[in-house]
């Protein structure tokens, strides 16, 4: 997973093998990020997605707690620090899995909500 921003970039990547001889996976978390997010947030995770808040100077990290709750959200106001805190209050669908987050304007959101009440 690579994150770019003006003036520099941030990269969080770790390869691992599911079983001996299998190709390494990419776009997973670094050991540091995993340790930060799993203590005490989740047991084990995969399928991370990172996105910037539309409304405040904050970044979110969703990790799929496989065998558990599905996506669990973490947040930071300092992406470069690598420190993530499990979100204290959130509402997600039951056991959400790998996906992505797309930024939308208020007008776009209003049109989607009107089309799918």
pLDDT in tens, 27-79: 334 444 554 555 567 777 888 888 888 889 999 998 888 777 888 889 999 88
Range of the domain at 17: 2-115
Cite the beta strand spans of 1-117 per DSSP E: 2-5, 8-11, 46-52, 59-65, 70-76, 85-86
**For residue 66, which of 79, 48, 39, 83 has the smallest C-alpha distance?**
48
> What is the model's pLDDT at position 107?
95
Is the pLDDT score of 9 beyond 70?
no
**How many domains, the chain?**
1
> What is the model's pLDDT at position 27?
38
Is the pLDDT score of 15 beyond 50?
no
Band (23; pLDDT cuts 50, 70, 90):
very low
């Amino acid at each position: 997973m690579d994150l770019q921003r003006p003036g520099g970039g941030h990269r969080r990547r770790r390869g691992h093998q599911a079983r001996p001889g299998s190709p390494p996976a990419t776009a997973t978390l670094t050991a540091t990020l995993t340790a930060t997010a799993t203590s005490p947030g989740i047991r084990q995770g995969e399928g991370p997605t990172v996105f910037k808040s539309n409304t405040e100077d904050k970044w979110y990290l969703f990790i799929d707690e496989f065998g558990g709750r599905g996506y669990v959200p973490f947040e930071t106001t300092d992406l470069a620090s690598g420190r993530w805190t499990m979100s204290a209050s959130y509402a997600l669908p039951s056991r959400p899995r790998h996906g992505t987050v797309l930024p939308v304007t208020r007008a776009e959101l209003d049109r989607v909500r009107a089309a799918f009440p």
